[in-house]
Structure 1
């Protein structure tokens, strides 16, 4: 009794610790981050531009950004001449000072599920709180003369607006007579093509290097998640994939993967990314760095080897700039169309890449056919269950055989008492006699773990589920269930604290988990029995703050598992314990006092 009582106390304390962790740390942290995001959103709203100024010839050079100095978005955009960007997917402008992409919004994506809410802002000028931009320039020498850089003011040669049909051509001629002409075009989605023609009319050879950088002065306010990479990313030639988190780069010196002649690099968030594909013919050095100089900034950049241009000759360099949403078919298409090596890794498919991506393709197929991503999740789970049915059948068959020999195992326990060695030897002899492998039932579960993790990964990281509705009150599968048990799911007229947002779907998930655990006999060990009782409760609280799509998947998977187990157990002539367990649970009478 003393030992069992200690077990009960230990289990109770463990459950209390988990619940306290959720209420006292996790939920308050999420709430603080939500408040910070709202404050940042209000600040962004106050600095929205009233409009993009028209290009008026040669603009005066903009003042260099002062570390720590910030302006409203209105002020930053208005102080320099610009060329408007207007495509089906993007709106914004190109800053003629530096020819920077520093004003960009995504027309197809809003900050909330409300179509009237503000558009997602990807790029903003460097002098704003949300400074984030991409720039392509050159490094020369005294012999070369001035070359395009951050403060260079370009002149518009043709095109007063960048659209999918009308490219923009910019020019700059330095004091040596070297002419730089930049043609910028864009497709109907998120890929810019920058073609620079450098015409050396100086009368002498010139040598210069091109560079490109993606720079941002902030990092995501949402909490980082173990299954998702956010920060620096790139495939640097033979050096392969490089992923560097914000926290890591803050604590280390700049990371330089090495010289390469192909690849790409940039910065990625959960749903959005900015990446540069350098000219692929000339070797380049890449770097990921954090600069804590007054106003901290994060930068992914490259510098190519110098190119020598003879007098009277010209060279052409083509650079690609991706800036937008990480739509899976689109990113895959860019990899093929532009021969960008492993560009699909811009989306974090994880370790089980070979499972995760096919899983998405299956889910995307159902989504395109039925038009509902929630339905796609349900159907994909059914397909996965069907594929693993033979393995599950072996698993439950092993469980059935174990149940059949349960009486003999009980006899062995009575016979050997506390002699663990003799009991172990007797059980092994019993397994051999009955031809039972006690761990056979574990292998199907182990094999399914990567598949279920891959499905979890797909649901969590792909933008296709963002703001995707299901049915009823679930209008965003990427957000937690908005209902709460503690105001009767909206029937009572008051708001519930974030820590008590236990919605309908988390409750459904908890019930299905409870039923699944009751499919088997209650363990004789009090500790295991206590775990069986409390685990659904703990998981209900833990998953309440997870995206609704994940909770729906979990609840549906539990439901299928219950059905599958019942069918297989009946096929093997084993009693399904669910109803007996439920009847015993609710009709249990207290023991009379001794």
Structure 2
């Protein structure tokens, strides 16, 4: 019965959180109407032409695709790659400080050429409603003027001319982290007036193989448009094109650890599109044309962030580029105001202790201390309930044929002993958002990736590699993936089982069996999860059990006097 009440209370609190969020954080009816109207307007906004693409269907290996066209090389302390002079597209990038696997030297590659099987690249350019004007596209061959290698402080200038007296230029720069800036210009050497619309787009062929597909993390197209966060799953974009007009913002594609993003020039209205036609296309185009007068030039700037989602770097660009909510490319979730501060606290402990696993344990201790008084109150109530278990069992036997009298007798017992069965779970429920927040923080941030703990845990972002089915490596046999239930998940299950022994046992026999099986169930469920998360749950269980044991011992002595 008490367990049922705890479950009901948990569901009620979850519902209350959702309702409170809807009341205080969701857009007002007026704002929702404005957003709705903006989406309607975006569909109607046909003044800006569509961005056309022509792609070759011939697939090559990545090496063959890279060697097919002439390139300029770029490199700084964090990234390395090249820009194809055919189309002037950024289609080759790897992260110098991140390996694909813990044991190995192969770097994480994010971008791939258009003819590779895993095409993923970024493109900038111009379109116009005048079909008679020759424009550079992704097949045009650009020429390099001056510097032939892109690095911090050494920009690269590309040039392309048509047969009608128009010269197109791109001046590309890179900082020492993850920011590319492209200044593109058109010089009109004719006596005519032309209108052009600048655009940028990200082309990706495949959904990532290592996509998490878990409700706690968004991966896929996203953007912030006039302060409104938009997140679309890949399946959403396949099913239906999404368009919106905005005055400011950014858009891109986010993976668990990696990001590609486009940031339009300030104070320029644009239309953003998320769509799919054999490939995913995340693009924007300015909705007000730039007028190229005779013998004059027009220019446009786009910032491109292709980054490992390091928190300090993302926050730096959020401020440096004057963006709103760029830090939301890291999926902090509804409890942003809890999750992000917890990250900074955990990062402080990591720098202090020098071990990410110890940092997780220290932040778990801090949370237990924060809620120590509340948990004391809850455990004191639970201990009183456990003391009453023999008397409740006796009442159950006496009134086994009359449930109404049984309920009345139990309520009289509660009243006589001054016990409120609900009061014990409320303080625990108040702390649930904080413990969910640390779980979220560890799951979505890159800082735990490839961080060791001690012993056999070499990477806290991966599951425990040992398995109970080969006696944790003592038997020379490699079990299949679904049988890899490591030592750390088993320890977590044992701590949960021991913790249950300290709680009042359910009166119902079916509930008893369910709760006996629950630690085993959770051990199997959490076995594939990152070791850092399992370590957090294990440390939390041990600290909870220690506090609960002390409180129950004290309560037992007090009652016996």
SS of equivalent residue, structure 1 residue 540: helix
Q: Does 1:302 align with 2:302?
A: no
Q: Is the 8 A contact 1:144 1:176 kept in 2?
A: no
| Cα separation, partners in 2 of 1:150 and 1:425, compared to 1, 3 Å | same
- Please provide the CA RMSD for this pair: 2.2
Question: What are the within-5 Å matches in structure 2 for residues 251-266 of structure 1?
Answer: 252-256=239-243, 258-266=244-252
| Deviation digits for residues 504-548 of structure 1 (CA, Å, limit 9, x no counterpart) | 111211211111111235445332332333222222222222111
Q: Is the 8 A contact 2:382 2:504 kept in 1?
A: no
Deviation at 1:474, TM superposition (A): 1.0
Deviation at 1:199, TM superposition (A): 3.0
For residues 407 and 474 of structure 1, what CA distance do their matches in structure 2 show?
44
For residues 556 and 418 of structure 1, what CA distance do their matches in structure 2 show?
44
SS of equivalent residue, structure 1 residue 468: coil
For residues 475 and 392 of structure 2, what CA distance do their matches in structure 1 show?
54
Q: Is the 8 A contact 1:254 1:289 kept in 2?
A: yes
**1:150 aligned partner:** 138
Equivalent position to 1:192, from 162, 177, 180: 180
Question: What are the within-5 Å matches in structure 2 for residues 189-588 of structure 1?
Answer: 189-222=177-210, 223-238=212-227, 240-250=228-238, 252-256=239-243, 258-291=244-277, 296-305=278-287, 306-406=289-389, 409=392, 412-413=395-396, 416-573=399-556
For residues 193 and 414 of structure 2, what CA distance do their matches in structure 1 show?
85
Report which stretch shifted further, 128-137 or 166-175: 166-175
For residues 249 and 494 of structure 2, what CA distance do their matches in structure 1 show?
49
For residues 544 and 143 of structure 1, what CA distance do their matches in structure 2 show?
59
**2:49 aligned partner:** none
Q: Does 1:107 align with 2:93?
A: no
Q: Is the 8 A contact 1:400 1:574 kept in 2?
A: no
| Deviation digits for residues 100-130 of structure 1 (CA, Å, limit 9, x no counterpart) | 00011111111100242x1111000111111
For residues 413 and 391 of structure 1, what CA distance do their matches in structure 2 show?
31
For residues 417 and 496 of structure 1, what CA distance do their matches in structure 2 show?
49
For residues 277 and 408 of structure 1, what CA distance do their matches in structure 2 show?
68
SS of equivalent residue, structure 1 residue 535: helix
| Cα separation, partners in 2 of 1:409 and 1:490, compared to 1, 3 Å | closer
**1:174 aligned partner:** 162
Q: Is the 8 A contact 2:291 2:298 kept in 1?
A: no
Equivalent position to 2:118, from 109, 127, 130: 130
- Aligned pairs, how many? 505
For residues 200 and 387 of structure 1, what CA distance do their matches in structure 2 show?
66
Deviation at 1:485, TM superposition (A): 2.2
**1:163 aligned partner:** 151
**1:81 aligned partner:** 70
For residues 226 and 136 of structure 1, what CA distance do their matches in structure 2 show?
33
Equivalent position to 2:55, from 65, 73, 91: 65
SS of equivalent residue, structure 1 residue 440: coil
For residues 420 and 507 of structure 2, what CA distance do their matches in structure 1 show?
22
SS of equivalent residue, structure 1 residue 490: coil
For structure 1, list consecutive stretches of 5 or more residues without a partner in the other structure.
Answer: 1-62, 577-594
For residues 426 and 170 of structure 2, what CA distance do their matches in structure 1 show?
60
Report which stretch shifted further, 382-391 or 522-531: 522-531
**2:86 aligned partner:** 97
| Cα separation, partners in 2 of 1:373 and 1:144, compared to 1, 3 Å | farther
| Cα separation, partners in 2 of 1:574 and 1:150, compared to 1, 3 Å | farther
Q: Is the 8 A contact 1:193 1:321 kept in 2?
A: yes
| Deviation digits for residues 570-592 of structure 1 (CA, Å, limit 9, x no counterpart) | 3434699xxxxxxxxxxxxxxxx
For residues 87 and 415 of structure 2, what CA distance do their matches in structure 1 show?
77
For residues 401 and 483 of structure 1, what CA distance do their matches in structure 2 show?
40
For residues 66 and 574 of structure 1, what CA distance do their matches in structure 2 show?
80
Deviation at 1:141, TM superposition (A): 4.0
Deviation at 1:377, TM superposition (A): 0.8
| Cα separation, partners in 2 of 1:486 and 1:413, compared to 1, 3 Å | closer
SS of equivalent residue, structure 1 residue 148: coil
| Cα separation, partners in 2 of 1:87 and 1:529, compared to 1, 3 Å | same
Task: Give TM-score, length-normalised by structure 2.
Answer: 0.85
